[in-house]
Chains A and B, each alone.
Chain A
């Protein structure tokens, strides 16, 4: 102490002027703030570019070109015997319906006074290849309409749709056998007459996938159901197992090297690439347990394995965040360990657990790689599941797998649908994350 007092005391300069050291510190702080703002700006820019791309490329998938056409359902073509016997009418295949469409086109051209420079066949070809099937389905559902004139909204073929959306031009179809410049001239006339219009297409959201020849008819609906059933499996399995495991590990398990190892491994599992879970699912659930391939049940099981670590980690974090004084309070009035956990700790941790679960589910919803390995890229063109059992066990696809499937196909019309699918998927993820935030806000309690 005596040494210190003998030193000359430090003399501070004027406070009105910053000294060199202070200036340097302030400059460093300013630089750091600038870097931070720069990083955030870059992030936001990337997000904006991403969203702009997705929206500008994907919104097209939600509209589709339709042709309004009056079709005469001729009795001599569709029901030769005239007794409206469904079984007999079913013998007429879609080929039997095609001439009706050609006739309807010719009628329409005559009625509107357009000059028909192209053949009736070429005119009918601007309709989707699914148009005769649509006609047939309608007739079989309403046999009493045979013999009458009925107005239909037919999907236009994907080339015409592309022309409406600017994807197809007269230059780009030079080598395209599916459509000719004359047909496009005809389309222009139909547009002028208001017969060919672009409208919102609900069946993109609700419909099933379609074959390569009919991209205009492909929809997300069945894949959405596949994803829904997978999420059901994940929720039913991962939530109780994950929460129970976390409660045991956090509140009951003794702290020793075994629980340490378990803890480390759970954290590691959360970082395992999802394709590893996929190949595990392939080996165990399909090859060993012989569960059906492409079934949402198997997809759900694989995604459960993937989601469990996420749920366990977030549940443990929210259990840890409950102040120990609450446990003490419960134990102090004579509650058992289990009562203190279930009556007091768990309700307080619930918002965190729910948030973690929803984030885990959202992750699982967007997961593609493991689904490819267990074959959840089924081409499901028609058979939408009609119940929980078939929903779980019948082959299906999932939203991200369906997007992958479309992006893979050659026709640019499918490419557009892939972007549209991404919009649907993102809307789902956004909705789930919003629910997570709302739950956290609503149930968060202060203590």
Chain B
């Protein structure tokens, strides 16, 4: 681990998120054990690992979505741009505007496509007038790579789109609030291979503007879209480093077993 840390400090990319000694408990269950990780800006970071290893839990710590679970306790420090997001002064609502999230199952609001995207900017007061809001919606839908498919039916319900379109709509909704970090919790697990390819392409484009953290069950996907990969196992961060290194030359035997299909 020491070597890896050293390797990363020479990286030219700026640090965006850094977690130190993060522990997460669900009641008596110790779900995340002492995780240290540094996530860079304008990079796609993939979290891989078998089911129940804590990768989603850790992801949800980054925008404090775990706050909604009563029994969940988080210890340790998670810093975004040098600020502790678990500080008492931090309002999770403000944090979540800065750290957007895309969920496993596409979950558009049962409203029009336009309203889905416009909701975030509206509640954060990002638009001064209707034309402004129209611009924001169009920009977000373009970034979500779905503008061409929906520009003629912005008033149609978002739930009427296909699964892949819904997920890209959700991505557009997440980027509409101008976040700096985009968290994705298995965004393609409910999609077919074609829709998955579209979303993966989109993730690669999003890297230009955001720090993207993606949880995935598909190692191929992690290899395709990410620059950095973290392998979680039983609540521990086993190995973290360049995606190429993790997949070709892992240092930890558990990582090797997992990526070769012997565990998980």
Contacts and interface: CB of A to CB of B under 8 A. Distances in A.
Interface of A: 254-255, 323, 325-336, 339, 343-344, 348, 445-447
Contact of B68 (A326, A331, A446, A447): A331
A255 B70 contact: yes
A87 B110 CA distance: 69
B170 interface: yes
Interface of B: 63, 65, 68, 70, 93-94, 96-97, 100-103, 105, 107-110, 119-120, 123-124, 159, 170, 173-174, 176-177
B30 to A, nearest CB: 21
B110 A333 contact: no
A343 B119 contact: yes
B107 A326 contact: yes
22 contacts: A254-B70, A325-B107, A326-B109, A327-B68, A328-B68, A328-B101, A330-B109, A331-B68, A332-B96, A333-B119, A334-B93, A334-B94, A334-B124, A334-B177, A335-B123, A336-B93, A339-B123, A343-B123, A344-B109, A348-B110, A445-B110, A446-B110
A329 B70 contact: no
A329 B110 contact: no
Given A329-B107, A332-B103, A334-B120, 5 more contacts: A328-B107, A332-B101, A333-B97, A445-B159, A446-B110
Q: Ordered nearest first, which 10 A-B pairs have the shortest CB separation? A: A334-B97, A333-B120, A325-B107, A332-B101, A334-B96, A329-B107, A445-B110, A336-B93, A447-B110, A334-B93
Contacts of B100: 332-333
Contacts of A331: 65, 68, 96
Contacts of B101: 328, 332
A334 B174 CA distance: 9
A323 B107 CA distance: 10
B32 to A, nearest CB: 19
A252 B91 CA distance: 17
Select the residue from B94, B96, B105, B174 with max chain A CB neighbours within 10 A.
B96
A250 to B, nearest CB: 13
Contacts of A255: 70
Nearest to A333: B120
Contacts of A327: 68
A166 B177 CA distance: 78
Contact of B103 (A328, A336, A339, A343): A328
A332 B110 contact: no
Contact of A333 (B70, B94, B96, B159): B96
Contacts of A447: 110, 159
Given A254-B70, A327-B68, A343-B119, A333 B177 contact: yes
Given A325-B103, A339-B123, A332 B109 contact: no
